[in-house]
Amino acid sequence: MTIKFTDKVAIVTGAGAGLGRSHALGLAARGAKVVVNDLGRDGQAPESALAVVKEITNLGGEAIAHGANVADMDQVQDMVDQAMSKWGRVDILVNNAGILRDKTFSKMTIEDFKLVVDVHLMGAVNCTKAVWEIMKTQEYGRIVMTSSSSGLYGNFGQSNYGAAKMGLVGLMNVLAQEGRKYNIHVNALAPTAATQMTEGLITPQMTELMTPESVTPALLFLVSEGAPTRTIVGAGAGAYAVTRIFETDGLWLAKEDQTPEGIAANWDNLMSTDNQKELMIAGDQTLKFVQKAAEALGIDLNSEFGVK
């Protein structure tokens, strides 16, 4: 089945170049009307965003540019208002805008830490908040947070970036639950492309494969009508994977062993991957721990508390 976005309206932040540009062009090529956002001055779209709009319109598509700073809620609201005024709906939001201020934590200023968090995390919060009620009313919405392996797994010199990118996973987890009954699907994309950190690790030939265009198919899938929700998809160089957060099965410790020494003595068992599971909501962990305690103490949770 061909994935199309006919009559859908999409906002792509940070779309003047790189991944954002590729996403905007990919959406437009499949029929979406696109707001091409990139940071300008005084709310005016920069040349980069206008150039992407021209690419789209030259191919027969519809697009407008907007220069909102995603960290400024008033500017974000103006962007969404313009989309609504022109097309009357917003179906897709791609939170792609971002910046880097890389330094080791020792050398990083608090200002640079906050700036990166404001753009990546709060920028996504602002844009999502501005479209959330629209999508609820429509009973349709597809939102993608742009996460990163730097947040999922860590990367030297990127404490600010990694914290923001992992924060987006937490935001996705909650909004996917809150949006489910309104047919709002919220996912995360963890892209990788040729950067300075890959120099010396891969050959120039492989670097040529790590294009924005090789990532965009994953984005298009995650904002399609048949998209999953609460899913992290990694993409790069034409390869794709799903990241999941698992919790080991663990074990219950008797009262006398509920000490740091008791945990140390049982560490290998706690680390065992046997029967580990992907927990879907926070309450799954609570229920699991209570069930382990009840089983060890001979308490029937069903008869005592109605817990199955």
Q: Which two tokens stand for residue 112?
A: 């640079």
Q: What is the DSSP letter of 158?
A: B
Phi, psi of 262 (to 5 degrees): -65, -40
Rg over alpha carbons for the chain, rounded to the nearest Å, is 22
User: By three-state DSSP, how is residue 252 classified?
Assistant: coil
Q: Which two tokens stand for residue 33?
A: 């009307």
The residues, any chain, with a CB within 8 Å of residue 289's CB and separated by 6 or more, are 250, 252
Catalytic residue among 153, 161, 182, 240: 161
Q: What is the DSSP letter of 198?
A: G
Measuring CA to CA, which residue among 177, 172, 295, 307 is closest to residue 245? 172
Measuring CA to CA, which residue among 142, 291, 131 is closest to residue 229? 142
Beta strand 184-191 pairing with 141-146? parallel
Phi, psi of 299 (to 5 degrees): -95, 130
DSSP 17-48: SHHHHHHHHHHHHTT-EEEEE---BTTBPPHH
CA dist 258 and 262 (Å) reads 6
Is 161 assigned a catalytic role?
yes
CA dist 15 and 26 (Å) reads 11
Q: Which two tokens stand for residue 53?
A: 């709009």
Say if residues 39 and 97 touch (Cβ distance below 8 Å). yes
CA distances (Å), origin 300, targets 285, 289, 308: 19, 14, 9
Residues catalogued as catalytic: 161
